[in-house]
Amino acid sequence: MQKTFKIMQLYENAVLNICADTLKRNKQALVFVSTKSSAEAEAERISRKIRVKDSDKRSLEEVSSKVLRVLDKPTKQCQRLALCVKKGIAFHHAGLHSAQKELVENNFKRGLIKVICATPTLAYGINLPAFRVIVRDLKRFSGPRGMNWIPVLEFLQFCGRAGRPDFKDKHGEAICVAQTQSDKKRIIEYYISGEPEEILSKLAVEPVLRTYVLSLIATEYANTENELMSFFKKTFYAYQFKDMKKLERIIKRILNDLEEWEFITRSTDYLEATLLGRRVSQLYLDPYTAHYLVTCLRRAKNRIISPFSFLQMISNTLELRPLLTVRAKEYDYIEEKIAEHQASLLCLEPSMFEPEYEEYLKSIKTAMFFLDWINEVDEELLLEQYGIRPGETRAKLELADWLLYSSQELCKLIRLHGLIREINKLRVRLKYGAKEELLPLLRLRNVGRVRARKLYNNKIKDLDDIRKADITRLTQLLGRQTALSVKKQLGQEYAEEKIRVKKSKRKGQTALTRYDEKSS
DNA sequence: GGACGGTGAAACTTCAGGTTGCCTC
DNA sequence: GAAGTTTCACCGTCC
């Protein structure tokens, strides 16, 4: 239902006016924008003009300081969010650390945070309704065609967040912001009065089809071309397009590829997955990626293997996209890096004139980012150098781990056992973002990259050193609870009450006195 | 006169998001 | 294509 009402024009900015009005009514709002930096900038703009209720001030400061403490060293993004949260405003996008997302979501549900400026993430998956939804951007950049209007379905998804029946809202309001009169007309006709788009089957997309064809054969659901075809005839794709001839042609080509890649065998009409094919299917890998990984791994015996070898190998897969973009001024530097790592690269460099070259450069930059991470570069520097935000780092690391695990599994089947250990080491280093020298210490529970580094720099380099270390010294480095836990993990228990912390006369300093060892 | 901070125009840069595996060194 | 960010020139203020 469309509704007309006036909102006080206190500022030049429409979003700001609507937010001010929402707060005056003691309600909350979600603002949807098209990019991460827009979400941050809009939140900042609103927070500069908003006055916080005295009763909320203290709680907001607490949340703000929690936001700041999520990482060991807060990044600019953390500081920006913390400042906004102090004013009861927040931004939300995939670049946020998951703990920060949770803080924002929970405190919005509590009613403490009044406005969230978000990218479309918030409209999907997360149940976070608000009295008002403000859709600021209805256009989004999409590749070579420039700015495009978003689908009606997506618009409806945004609007669906309006209204909180749990909080006795009788209705919710969704407000679009139009820049021009013609935009206004378009919004009313296309979005408000228009019909949502038809839902299209994604089956015709080759990576998806490839994966399903292999999985049908691997699970022995279909063992002949006819069985495969009769399966696909019953899918939504067939119902929608009816062009089975085209689908048949694509499937035939996929079967040829799978056979050539040794994922299936064909005797007369009978299709069977090989051991390798079955594993590829279990790992949910696109067979194309799996074949690429196998080719790279087989190349390893002629190369000088280093962590960069594997990092670049996985960075060049479709799964890890979008890769980090290479700026014009970085070209020379990246090319230098290729020369530097030449002998260890498992994925060969395409010619400069090939269309893949651009992606190859990106894969090198992405691998460099991973390498910096495992060399303990902190997140503020990663944000500065690579423009990658903490939340995005986590997402990339998770993908990298899956691809490396898959590579390990493939190594087992193609008898490259020598590589498994190396990949495993790399996975632990990626998980913690730590240099190789910290690996022994990382085996302990409650010890991550920060604590391990602290121990290592204080000459406690492995489990034996920890065993020999004085509990007092360990407590100074790790704190009491962690020190006790670490010792306990090595079978050394201490009577807790006998470790006393004596306040030093000098302010703020603590020193430990006696300790008693129960057993070792 | 020089250091410093604030301001605004111009140039430059960048553009949403997410599931899958296994259990272990 | 448009919004956000960075850069840089310019100006006023203070010491």
Task: Estimate in Å the CA A371 to C1' B17 gap, whole number.
Answer: 25
What is the pTM for the complete model shown? 0.86
- Name the closest nucleotide to A37, judged by C1' and CA: C4
- Same domain flag for A114 and A161: yes
CATH number at residue A268: 1.10.10.10
Q: Which domain holds residue A266?
A: 206-282
* Judgement on whether residues A449 and A410 belong to the same structural domain of the protein: no
Let me know whether A499 and A486 are in one domain.
Answer: yes
Kindly state whether residue A5 falls inside one of the protein's structural domains: no
Domain boundary among A406, A433, A460: A433
Among protein residues, the one whose C-alpha sits closest to the C1' atom of B17 is A121
For residue A519, the model assigns a pLDDT of: 35
Domain membership of residue A458 (yes or no) is yes
Residue A433 CA to nucleotide B24 C1', Å?
Answer: 18
The per-residue pLDDT for A125 is 78
How far are the Cα atoms of A137, A280, A321, A344, A357 from residue A362, in angstroms, in the given order?
A: 29, 26, 10, 17, 9
Does residue A301 fall inside a structural domain?
Answer: yes
A255 and A371 within one domain: no
Q: For position A511, what pLDDT does the model report?
A: 38
Q: What integer pLDDT is reported at residue A444 of this predicted model?
A: 87
Mean pLDDT by 10 residues, chain A (520 residues): 80 88 93 93 89 90 92 86 93 92 93 94 87 93 82 92 80 91 90 88 83 92 92 86 82 93 92 94 92 94 92 91 80 86 91 81 90 89 84 89 94 91 92 90 86 90 89 86 85 64 42 36
| pLDDT of amino acid A48 | 86
End of a domain among A282, A303, A326? Answer: A282
Looking at the fold, whether A123 and A75 belong to one and the same domain comes out as: yes
- Asked if residue A330 is part of any domain, the answer here is yes
Phi-psi region of A418 (alpha: psi -120 to 50; beta: other; left: phi over 0): alpha
A201 in a domain, yes or no? no
DSSP A433: T
A116 contacts A22 by C-beta, under 8 angstroms: no
The confidence score (pLDDT) of residue A516 equals 36
List residues with CB under 7 Å of strand C: A 33, 35, 37-38, 40-42, 137, 139, 141, 146-147, 179
Inside any domain, residue A4? no
**Domain identity same for A131 and A48:** yes
* Same domain membership, residue A155 and residue A27: yes
A343 and A429, same structural domain? yes
Same structural domain, A221 and A162: no
Task: Please name the residue whose C-alpha is nearest to the C1' of nucleotide C2.
Answer: A147
Same domain, A61 and A188: yes
Residue A495 pLDDT: 64
C1' nearest to CA of A387: which nucleotide?
A: B14
Residues A294 and A372 in one domain: yes
Residue A352 placed within a domain: yes
Q: Domain containing A146 — which CATH number?
A: 3.40.50.300
Q: What pLDDT, on a 0 to 100 scale, did the predictor assign at position A487?
A: 86
Both A162 and A294 in one domain: the answer is no
Give the dihedral of Cα atoms A441, A442, A447, A450; nearest 10 deg. Answer: 90
Is position A240 within any domain?
yes
Enumerate helices (H) and strands (E) in chain A, giving the number of each: 24, 13
Domain count, chain A: 4
Output the pLDDT for position A136.
Answer: 94
Residue in this structure with the two tokens 């913690």, named with its chain if needed: A432
